[in-house]
Amino acid sequence: MIKYLLGAILALAIIGGAFRFESSDNSWKLIILKEEAFYSVTNGAKRIFNIVANMIPDSELSDASSIVIEED
């Protein structure tokens, strides 16, 4: 479960442009932009939450659910 969560965070950071690759004749560098990573992950999580929240309308949940209490 934790692997999937970390994978999702990494995917959101990559999509958001949080990584930059620089190379020279002598070395390669992978630069992580911390602020960009934070913003891309939080924005992605908010968008996913809003999509899921819009898929489940409140009125249908309250109409379909019922609480039944039985006494013996």
Find the helix or strand (DSSP H, E) in which 5 lies. Answer: helix 2-15
Q: Quick one: tokens of 30?
A: 């992978």
State how far the alpha carbon of 7 is from the alpha carbons of 23, 33, 40, 56, 66, in Å.
26, 18, 14, 25, 38
Residue 14 is assigned to a structural domain of this protein: no
* Interior/surface letters 16-44, b for 16+ CB within 10 angstroms, e for the rest: bebeeeeeeeeeeeeeeeeeebeebbeeb
Residue 17 resides in a domain: no
Residues lower than pLDDT 70 in the chain: 57-72
pLDDT of amino acid 60:
55
Quick one: pLDDT at residue 51? 82
Which domain range does residue 46 map to? 1-9+35-54
Whether residue 46 lies inside any domain: the answer is yes
Contact 12, 45 (CB under 8 A): yes
Number of structural domains (the chain) is 1
The per-residue pLDDT for 13 is: 81
2, part of any domain: yes
